[in-house]
Structure 1
Amino acid sequence: MDKQPMRGGDEALGPDDPSSRRDMLGRMVRAFEKHAVPAYGLPAAWQGPRCLRSAEHAEHAEHAEHAETTSHGDGSVLDREVSYSVDHGEDAERRRAAPFLTVTTSDGPRPPVEWLLAVAAGEQRVPHALELITGGAIANEVGVAVDGTTTTFSTLERDGLVAASADFHDLAISYVGRGIDVPALGLAQITDMAPYVSGYWERLRRLGITF
């Protein structure tokens, strides 16, 4: 899969500011722009607020299960898993009733929807995840256009909260949300970071966090 170039990240960082938050955001923007794994979100035509959430490059001394590995002299293999998450709609502090959507793209294994739903509901332990399944969560499969290609997502829904995941070429794409119709909207590779970066600053301002 070809990774489309991103634009708009540096320009949206704001005036030169040595604060730790700006440095952190700068590192996140550079991670989005420079890694080989593309990031996905709602199409540009969707008019709601957007915000960067996280960019991770986790390393695990495990078996070679991910896209990028490095062999060491002692025979061990270091896995590298790249993961990007972006938010759409209201931020976490307002999610109880408002529509929201978090989309995560990774070159690691596809996350189980049971775990995604448990985390989104604030319950991260396995017994709670199993309780979600037996407590009325509805499993389904839906077709979502990802860059125009219809892709089958496994979904799990409970009380209006939806978790979904799918394999897309050599990537895993997942989302959790409420009140945003992803199958109707589709997903697209992010090529303009400016709305996500400016949304990050706006979120901090709403929370009263100074820079």
Structure 2
Amino acid sequence: MGNVGLLYVGAVLFVNGLLLIGTVDGRAAAPINLFVGGLQVVTPTYLIIAAAGDARAISLAAGLYLFGFTYLWVGINAITGWPQTGLGWFSLFVALAAVGFAVHSIAVLGDRTFAVIWLFWSFLWLLFFLVLGLGLDRLTRFTGWVTIIEAFGTAAVPALLLITGYWSDSTRLAVTYLVVGVLLFGGLWFALGRRAAAPVSVPHHA
């Protein structure tokens, strides 16, 4: 069930990435954020109740709330026009929590690749904090492209592989994910993040 939710996380991240680079309007992105945000709150609640006290199952579900609350907040802000600062500071909390989930993933769950994926999510939500919480608009376009890349690399593709039974964790896969991600984001930074072009105004996203 959580794997299905991860697939739609890829969808909402894709739309929100397009929102950040100025392709999609904030109100147009609101429905998918509300749909997926609701899903990412209902799903972990069900999984935790069904876990019947199983600590491993609960830990796998607990982190989903971080994303569910983010997307609901994005959708609500897009509709109401409320300030984004609160969402930005919540994103810092998510970024820090994601580091903890990364450590838990490798130390307790033994899932090396998803430990790396959690670190990439931490990086992405840190960018959301910098753009929304601190108002660093010059990072908006870079953040948008990172969001689009992570939509597929950390959500949609892993979800499809998990759903179809083709996902197989290994040290090699984890290292490959880490190296490719660092190189890709580093190259993207030099291509976009350091341009002297005028920054894109921050729309209602996340």
**Larger strand proportion of the pair:** 1
**Larger helix proportion of the pair:** 2
Do Structure 1 and Structure 2 share a fold, with TM-score over 0.5?
no
TM-score interval, smaller chain: under 0.3
With normalisation by structure 2, the TM-score equals 0.24
Bigger RCO of structures 1 and 2 (CA < 8 A, at least 6 apart): 2
With normalisation by structure 1, the TM-score equals 0.23
User: Which structure would you say has the larger Rg?
Assistant: 1
